[in-house]
Amino acid sequence: MDLPSENTQKLPHVVVVGAGFGGLRAARALAKAPVHVTIVDKNNYHLFQPFLYLVATAGLSATDIAHPVRKILQGQQNASFTLAEVQEVDFENKRLHTPNGEVPYDYLVLAVGGTTNYFGNQSVAQNGFGLKDLDEATAIRNHILKMFELANQETDPEVRRAMLTFVIVGGGPTGVECAGAISELNRLVLTKDYRHLDFNDVRVILLEAADRLLAHLPAGLSENTAAVLQQKHVEVQFGATVQGYDGKQVTFQDGKTLPACTLIWAAGVNANPLVSTLGADLGRQRRVKVLPTLQLPNHPEVFVIGDAAYLEDGQGHPLPMVAPVAMQQAETAAGNIRRILRGEALNSFVYKDPGSLATIGRNQAVASISGIQFKGFLAWAVWLVVHIMQLIGFRNRLVVLINWAWDYIFYDRFNRLITPE
């Protein structure tokens, strides 16, 4: 474990748990503060989750969307990294319990993110795929490609059709992106690989329990999204509530069934279960309720930010679980730690919504920014630029751009490898 050096030992020790969007930003915002910062994460990399669906659909490789935390911290003199999974927060002794030992803190920033919410549906959790980390994205890619290989050898047409039916549950941004990308992988790339397969058997089905996609966007953009997906050969089914999945067949609440060997669950997110152990009140999606200053009630030295934290906006709506919330809260939490050290009053968090963007696939996206709605190629170009800029590391940006340009020009996906898991 990297502990503060003798020179920095006298400085207050700020421990940031999580090197995601919120945690990294908080550590960086403390670069010039008179503190020592330790980032603790169970992985040694920062993951750019918005591009997970591209790893899952062979557009990018895992290394393109992850960046080593130690590399990111190289230029920050007052920061170090500890690889460990935090299991418990001991508020009384101001220590974190991890399997590798204890980590003492003076101030704590919990930025542990979220986890897939299967709504207690064990059969879906066991037999379907979530899309929250690199392992899951790689497993989806391997599985899709394996299904094509097996279907190519299958003589029973019913079984073959089930192998070539890809079901995505959840009409939010992840479900929409995933459905569009899988359909494009099938129609633009794999048709060239599997010349003897009948692509009329290949189905991509997006299931949404409500009556529209991308419910956080204006209705017109939701309708456009459904229309574009249908043009891209995605079947969109509304009012479809999944009751169970055994790996071969989806069962719906109304008793109907759908044979399918692939189900990707993009229908819900909860806060990381660590925050349920803090003994504090929980809000929707099991996020921990924080004060407007982002402090944990009764623990002024502990801040919770990002997907793990529950806070409402001025209209009483919960803040969304998106990267801009996590990054803006990181700035506020870091600022408030500096204010505590200076003996000043703390600031309340106010979210500045930068707008929403969602891509539906090649040349197609929808956007709502500052009340202006746009769609199609322009929205797609904006989506591309915004996301490339957010990616950490020049190498990653360059590799992603080159990959993209190649795929765009040649209708190709270079990462269609079935790798050992």
CB burial string 194-217: b at 16+ within 10 A, e below: beebeeeebbbbbbbeeebbbeeb
- In angstroms, the CA 159 to CA 162 distance is 5
**Residue of minimal CB distance from ligand FAD?**
20
Rounded to whole angstroms, what are the CA distances from 229 to 60, 139, 208, 328, 331?
Answer: 22, 24, 13, 32, 37
Site for ligand FAD in 272-301 (CB under 6 A): 272, 274
- In angstroms, the CA 285 to CA 268 distance is 9
Of 18-26, 70-78, 247-255, 275-283, the window that binds ligand FAD (rule: CB under 6 A) is: 18-26
Single-letter residue type at 294:
L
Closest contact distance (angstroms) between CB of 156 and ligand FAD is 34
Cβ count near 21 (within 10 Å)? 29
Rounded to whole angstroms, what are the CA distances from 46 to 21, 177, 283?
Answer: 8, 21, 27
Token code pair at residue 244: 């169970």
Question: Which of 27, 33, 111, 204 touches ligand FAD (CB under 6 A)?
Answer: 111
The continuous run of DSSP H or E covering 174 comes out as helix 173-184
Q: Please, which residues have CB within 8 angstroms of residue 360's CB and are 6 or more apart in sequence?
A: 176, 177, 180, 225, 228, 229, 232, 366
Rounded to whole angstroms, what are the CA distances from 58 to 14, 20, 102, 256, 370?
Answer: 39, 23, 40, 32, 33
Closest contact distance (angstroms) between CB of 421 and ligand FAD is 19
Of 110-118, 187-195, 342-350, 412-420, the window that binds ligand FAD (rule: CB under 6 A) is: 110-118
Q: Which is nearer to ligand FAD, 179 or 258 (CB)?
A: 179
177 is catalytic: yes
Q: Residue count at the site for ligand FAD (CB under 6 A)? A: 35
Residue 130 interacts with ligand FAD (CB under 6 A): yes or no: no
Question: Which of 14, 27, 29, 40 touches ligand FAD (CB under 6 A)?
Answer: 40
Token code pair at residue 173: 């941004």
Site for ligand FAD in 46-65 (CB under 6 A): 47, 49-50, 52-53
**Among candidate residues 168, 174, 231, 167, the one with its CA nearest the CA of residue 363:** 231
The continuous run of DSSP H or E covering 167 comes out as strand 165-169
Question: Which of 66, 108, 131, 296 touches ligand FAD (CB under 6 A)?
Answer: 131
Q: Which is nearer to ligand FAD, 260 or 358 (CB)?
A: 358
- In angstroms, the CA 205 to CA 186 distance is 13
Question: Which of 176, 322, 360, 391 touches ligand FAD (CB under 6 A)?
Answer: 322
Of 118-126, 193-201, 319-327, 405-413, the window that binds ligand FAD (rule: CB under 6 A) is: 319-327
- In angstroms, the CA 179 to CA 235 distance is 9
Place of tokens 């990381």: 272
Q: Which is nearer to ligand FAD, 285 or 347 (CB)?
A: 285
Contact string (CB under 6 A) for ligand FAD, positions 144-183, x = contact: -----------------------------xx---------
Residue 136 interacts with ligand FAD (CB under 6 A): yes or no: no
Of 39-47, 236-244, 279-287, 407-415, the window that binds ligand FAD (rule: CB under 6 A) is: 39-47
Of 45-53, 149-157, 194-202, 331-339, the window that binds ligand FAD (rule: CB under 6 A) is: 45-53
Q: Which is nearer to ligand FAD, 137 or 261 (CB)?
A: 137
Residue 23 interacts with ligand FAD (CB under 6 A): yes or no: yes
- In angstroms, the CA 338 to CA 259 distance is 57
Site for ligand FAD in 84-103 (CB under 6 A): 85-86
Question: Which of 3, 31, 42, 76 touches ligand FAD (CB under 6 A)?
Answer: 42
Of 35-43, 100-108, 150-158, 334-342, the window that binds ligand FAD (rule: CB under 6 A) is: 35-43
Question: Which of 64, 184, 307, 407 touches ligand FAD (CB under 6 A)?
Answer: 307
Token code pair at residue 198: 């009948």
Catalytic residue among 6, 92, 149, 177: 177
Q: Do the Cβ atoms of 344 and 309 come closer than 8 Å?
A: no
The residue ranges that bind ligand FAD (CB under 6 A) are 17-23, 40-43, 47, 49-50, 52-53, 85-86, 111-113, 131-132, 173-174, 272, 274, 306-308, 321-324, 326
Catalytic residues: 177
